Structure 1
Amino acid sequence: MTTNEQIPPDTKDWTWVLSQQCPDCGHTAVDVAGPDVGATLREATPRWVAALQRPDARDRPEPTTWSTLEYGAHVRDGIRIFGARLDLMLTQDDPLFDNWDQDATALEDRYDLQDPSVVADELAEAARATADRFDSVADDQWERPGRRSNGSRFTVLTLGQYFLHDVVHHLHDVRA
């Protein structure tokens, strides 16, 4: 089922995943230690690449549920954004992150029309770069702070844990 029907915006504040296991995907963000963020991202990447290579990657399971392609493009962009946020946290004191409207980005960038193989390659490259950046975090940098535009506060550690939940959760969404 391929359609470009608009998806209702996700208005949940997902920061709760930093305090409890996700009942949908089973991931427990706080179980990932800082030094393991990069490795965990690397472990998830081949599953994303394989999912994006499926013949039905463009098909939505329901008109108001993203396709694997759309989820993959979202995850790719999230990896890039969180990599940039990590850089800000490591180079600035308590930075305020620019807002990212993921739903507007999906529409503006036409996630539904992108090439799944290109998205797979771009996701893999973004994951490699962001994983490498997390691997470079020094022991005394894991508690450096940063803030989201809605006021949510993160440390480098909780940013990595929060971000990984998105990567893993959407693998669950696409059954990969």
Structure 2
Amino acid sequence: MHDPTRAVDPGPARPDTSDWTWVLVRPCPQCGYDSGHVLPIGVPQIVRDAATRYAAVLGRMDVAVRPGEGVWSPLEYACHVRDVCDVMRGRLERILAGDGTTPVELDNWDQDATAVEKQYWRADPGQVAVELQDAFEAAAAAFATPHRAQWSWSAVRSDGAMFTVETLAKYFVHDLVHHLWDVQG
């Protein structure tokens, strides 16, 4: 069993510098995700289903074991998706707080810096399970709120990538699905 008080820093994971926005126009060859099959109205249920699968992953005896050098453990991935839920919910709320006529600017989020700052490798799986459930439920509830016209409201990420509420939802779902594939969940 993982004892966070005895956890040794495994060093940083390999940074992910990919621009994953391409998953909005073609299927992911690794995890099989196809955004063309995701309806915005189904996003809350997809998020809730993913929460259940991540909870099961957090119950594994080897949850804190990295499968290879520079690759996050299932525990670290669970911490990451917990934070992804919060970031994406926050981005959605920013867009919906606008008037829909001007693209909202989205702040940058450095996921690798967050992992180091929060010491994902040292997290308590039981605590992460609680936080993950709360984050997933808050994200699911938020993505259930857009009205029909709001799905086309837009935003621009700090790197220039453009999103609508709909594409943000699909991009978010890929993150959850892909990391389940990463942890074989």
Alignment of structure 1 residues 14-25 onto 2, 5 Å: 14-25=20-31
1:70 and 2:79 aligned = no
AA matched with 2:142? R
User: Following TM superposition, by how much is the alpha carbon of 1:3 offset from its aligned partner in structure 2, in angstroms?
Assistant: 5.4
Q: Following TM superposition, by how much is the alpha carbon of 1:98 offset from its aligned partner in structure 2, in angstroms?
A: 1.0
Question: Offset at 1:87?
Answer: 0.2
Q: Which has the larger radius of gyration?
A: 2
- Residue deviations 1:7-62 (CA, integer Å, cap 9, x gap): 12111100000001100000112311111111111111100011011111111011
**SS of equivalent residue, structure 1 residue 7:** coil
Compute the TM-score of the two structures, normalised by the length of structure 1: 0.96
CA RMSD in angstroms comes to 1.1
1:86 matched residue in structure 2: 92
Instruction: Work out the number of aligned pairs and report it.
Output: 175
Q: TM-score, normalised by structure 2?
A: 0.92
State how 1:40-119 maps to structure 2 within 5 Å: 40-92=46-98, 93-119=102-128
Q: Are the equivalent residues in 2 in contact too, given 1:3–1:59 (CA < 8 A)?
A: no
Q: Distance in 2 between matches of 1:168 and 1:10?
A: 16
Match of 2:32 in 1: 26
Matched-pair contact (CA < 8 Å) for 1:49–1:120 = yes
Shift, 1:127, TM fit: 0.8
SS of corresponding position for 1:142 = helix
Q: Once the two structures are superposed, what CA deviation does each residue of 1:110-143 show, in whole Å capped at 9, x if it has no partner?
A: 0000111111111111111111111111111100
| Seq. identity, % | 44
Three-state SS of the structure 2 residue aligned to 1:96 is strand
The amino acid of 2:70's aligned partner reads T
Structure 2 residue aligned with 1:125, among 128, 131, 134?
A: 134
What residue is the counterpart of 1:162 in the other structure? 171
| Runs of 4+ more than 3 Å apart | none
Moved more, 75-84 or 120-129: 120-129
Contact kept in structure 2, 1:17 and 1:162, CA below 8 Å = yes
Task: Note the alpha carbon deviations across 1:68-112, whole angstroms, 9 max, x for none.
Answer: 010000000000000000000101242111110001110111000
From 8, 11, 16, the equivalent of 2:17 is 11
